[in-house]
Amino acid sequence: MMDCVIRAVRAEQDIEDILRIESVTFTRPWTREMYLSELEHHDVAFFYVARDPVGEAVGFCSWWLVLDEVHINNLAVLPEHRRAGVATQLLDRVLADGAARGAHRATLEVRRSNEPALKLYEKAGFRVAGVRRNYYSHPDEDALVLWRERSPMDRS
Ligand SMILES: CC(C)(COP(=O)(O)OP(=O)(O)OC[C@H]1O[C@@H](n2cnc3c(N)ncnc32)[C@H](O)[C@@H]1OP(=O)(O)O)[C@@H](O)C(=O)NCCC(=O)NCCS
């Protein structure tokens, strides 16, 4: 278990950390331009970066607050730091902060074959609620739509 420091980021230079993690993680990473345009929407778009004890960025989560819903857009941890609880800490923080801002539910999409992510989300109380056929490309794949209906503060 790694003890992370998790901070909401708002500055352009923090986006570089996110892009580095994106580039080793996703086949179709979000671009700098996409993130910069998101940064302008202070009231709905949020980015959290997890740092290890020496300050290296090891994971991030980007999410939207849509009315009373947390929409998780991206969540990733550097391969060499996985299975150390980083994603769990990020998710806990996002759900708690979302709840503090009035969210009652949380949702996300995940590739059907992404077992590590599905396990992580199930453990955090998310359940599969639907399928979007061929939602992803590179490679083509269905998305499972997950929802967490309980109050995000309630981890029991
Ligand atoms: C999915 C991902 C974010 C998990 O990050 P992580 O920091 O390793 O996750 P955690 O250490 O908090 O794991 C929490 C639990 O999730 C499950 N889990 C995580 N990785 C797993 C794996 N490879 N195989 C099986 N279960 C896994 C386990 O239940 C784990 O608890 P445990 O270690 O006590 O058994 C990480 O694998 C990743 O970045 N993957 C690529 C990007 C991605 O797929 N993001 C999600 C897209 S929506």
Q: 7-17, pLDDT tens digit by residue? A: 998 788 789 99
* DSSP assignments along the chain, one per residue: ----EEEE--SHHHHHHHHHHHHTT-SSPPPHHHHHHHHT-TTTEEEEEEE-TT--EEEEEEEEEETTEEEEEEEEE-GGGTTSSHHHHHHHHHHHHHHHTT--EEEEEEETT-HHHHHHHHHTT-EEEEEEEEEETTTTEEEEEEEE-S-TT---
Regarding the beta carbon of 85 and ligand 1, being less than 6 Å apart is answered yes
Q: Which atom of ligand 1 is nearest to the CA of 76?
A: 39
Regarding the beta carbon of 82 and ligand 1, being less than 6 Å apart is answered yes
If one residue of 119, 121, 135 were mutated to test the ligand 1 pocket, choosing by the most ligand atoms within 8 A of its CB, it would be 119
Average pLDDT along the chain: 92
Q: Report the pLDDT averaged over residues 47-75.
A: 96
Model confidence at 152, in pLDDT bands (50, 70, 90)?
very low
pLDDT greater than 60 at residue 155: no
Task: Set out the domains of the chain in order of their start, with CATH numbers.
Answer: 5-148 (3.40.630.30)
Q: Which atom of ligand 1 is nearest to the CA of 89?
A: 12
